[in-house]
Structure 1
């Protein structure tokens, strides 16, 4: 029997429709401008760019393909380094951002002299909107806040944050967004936005950065080479991966019914855990309208989460947090930032339900979790 996969916020299985699109992508260098093979490849790249743009309510010339959301976040954040020349040398980001955002901000500080400050969040993980006016000043070059947190699933009010940014640019890591919320008009509420194909049933190794047309002159590239993608992100684009991301975005643009189904599976999972005697506390926001429908991050008092996950192998796949933090032995920095103790954070597991999870899977997993907990006592 295949393991029940409850780690969809780490990566999602490749959808067969996406796989078929990639298989039919054909061959060619989209930058070979002197023959039909290159022209046909370029057409397919542009179609994929349009599909990405349609997902977020942008124009195709505002979408730049990258190797993934990590690169997209780095380009957005390190790309503002020119602001130092005009005495805008402050960066604001929440303490619960993805590692790629935190690390890029740290690089701006250490290598270019920017001051990096926290955008405060409450115990639910939501940005404290009232605090934004207090921390934004004329020196602020960039504000960064993720749409959906990869560990606790909290959904930020991106429109409200954007309305309070002043003259700063606003960057949103939306990698977790397409599989959790409708993002049809998100481009209207940020200057830059990172996306990742493999978080929405697409292939690994491809992502995109949306940069609003008016903001593009202010962003400096971090890679140098040819003039592909207007020089913003040079390098030969991988035809099959771009086509795959375009197909995944088209699926994500019409997944409202799927999100409701995922929420119902999560509800069945929660009830099955209770029915099997598992006592837990939900970490993060309790209002389900403000949370990724498939995210279920819980703490089980007195339990070593890593040991429990090992006991669940090979039957149930879940994680203690974001895959970007794998290899770190410390408790989740996200959970600590929203006020959990080290003991509570160390007893926490993130279960993330997705498009391929059935109610039968959820109930089976709950039984296996209860059985594993009985062996830990």
Structure 2
């Protein structure tokens, strides 16, 4: 094997902060530290930076600046969207439609609304690639349906949903449409006007910005209850003194993402396809999970038969390779991925999953290192597997 090195292949979990982003943030941690709600010069400096960042994030998704509300991240945005719409529309109905492969920020919020507030939730099945069937969505709609929430792109298998078609269906039935675009916004083109989206959750740390900051796009005219109560920040909709340094960083990250979009997609797609094809060629009894055509450019999700993902991660980490067996939020669980189960994988195959995600700092040498080392890792684990030895007989 080649010499051990530190190699990051988990960009869907989080990304490093780009130097340009950090440089933009630093003055607001030291010189321009004012509270954006203050009327003096220090406050006005912070407010100006806040306004600029709002414009940058809005530009990324073709929204109006006053439709962007900063939050503490994607999970808060998801919670606010679901609970805010549910509570504001109780007089119209109590039915929500989502899918079985959503992030737990959506699934657990839906379960909370069901258990504690009497809402009814339909969890749509997905096909073998992880996409919902539009006919299933249409058939699930009731007179009491007030919200459709379908994620833009899946964090585990990278599958991109038919968002524009979902938006059209929601609009035809006068139903609010929310999409969790944490993995999508800044990694692929997103235009909220073209997509007929009413609410969209986003996050900074998936696009080379700082952690702890995100945004909720709220289309003008969309009524929802506030989620955080207190001061008059974010136009009286989300209380709490704004985290100006992080928001400034998010704005810069959004600006860079928009400017670099074409190169980002083409480079990541090329690296991903090379890695995917070489691993499939070198390691037998391997499958790629998710859609090949409708997929995030940096995502690969493999299933290796006869072994478990935890063993793969441990041996890869010993080689300096950081990867994942699913989403970072659930990697501590020994249960098989709910996403892989939803696309129809049996337990024994779902357990042997590995997510590798490439990013803007991934190189051809990195791909070489994985292609050189991963086959040996899989072979070593399979040699210890009773299932594998039985299959050879």
TM-score range with shorter-chain normalisation?
over 0.9
Q: Deviations 1:325-377 (Å, cap 9, x if unpaired)?
A: 13221000000011111111001111111111111101201211112123221
Match of 1:127 in 2: 132
Partner of 1:150 in structure 2? 155
* SS of match in other structure, 1:213: coil
Q: Is the 8 A contact 2:186 2:254 kept in 1?
A: no
Q: Does 1:260 align with 2:266?
A: yes
Q: Does 1:352 align with 2:357?
A: yes
In structure 2, do the counterparts of structure 1 residues 84 and 53 end up closer, same or farther at CA, with 3 Å as the change threshold? closer
What is the total number of aligned residue pairs between the two structures?
373
Alpha-carbon shift at residue 230 of structure 1 (Å): 2.0
Instruction: Please state how far the C-alpha of 1:278 moved relative to its aligned partner.
Output: 5.2
1:110 aligns with 2:115: yes
Deviation at 1:243, TM superposition (A): 0.2
- The residue number in structure 1 matching 2:183 is 176
1:208 match: 215
Q: Which residue of 1 aligns with 2:84?
A: 79
Question: Is 1:370 aligned with 2:375?
Answer: yes
Tell whether 2:272 aligns with 1:272: no
8 A Cα contact 1:179 1:259, kept in partner: no
**Cα gap change, 1:91/1:277 in structure 2, threshold over 3 Å: closer, same or farther?**
closer
Judge conservation of contact 1:58–1:187 (CA < 8 Å) in 2.
no
- Aligned 8 A contact 1:272 1:366 in 2: yes
Secondary structure (helix, strand or coil) at the match of 2:329 reads helix
Q: Distance in 2 between matches of 1:51 and 1:278?
A: 46
Name the CA distance, whole Å, in 1 between partners of 2:26 and 2:142.
50
Separation (CA, whole Å) in 1 of partners of 2:280 and 2:135: 37
What is the Cα deviation at residue 109 of structure 1? 1.2
Answering whether residue 291 of structure 2 is matched by residue 285 of structure 1, we say: yes
Structure 2 Cα separation of the partners of residues 52 and 240 of structure 1: 15
Q: Is the Cα–Cα contact under 8 Å of residues 30 and 45 in structure 1 kept in the other structure?
A: no
Q: Once the two structures are superposed, what CA deviation does each residue of 1:226-257 show, in whole Å capped at 9, x if it has no partner? A: 11112211000011000000001011112211
Query: Over the residues paired in the alignment, what is the CA RMSD in angstroms?
Result: 1.6
Pairs within 5 Å for 1:226-375? 226-254=231-259, 255-274=261-280, 276-277=282-283, 279-287=285-293, 290-314=294-318, 315-375=320-380
Q: Is the 8 A contact 2:312 2:378 kept in 1?
A: yes
What SS class does the counterpart of residue 317 from structure 2 fall into? coil
Cα separation, partners in 2 of 1:301 and 1:95, compared to 1, 3 Å:
same
- How far apart in 2 are the matches of 1:184 and 1:327? 35
- What is the CA–CA distance in structure 1 between the aligned matches of 2:7 and 2:194, rounded to whole Å? 35
Flag the 1:159–1:122 CA change in 2: closer, same or farther, 3 A: same
| Unaligned residue ranges in structure 1 (runs of 5+) | none
The separation in 2 between residues aligned to 1:133 and 1:271, in whole angstroms, is 37
TM-score between the two structures when normalised by the length of structure 1 = 0.95
Q: 1:109 to 1:187 in 2, by over 3 A?
A: farther
- Cα distance per residue 1:254-277 (max 9 Å; x no partner): 221111101111122123324544
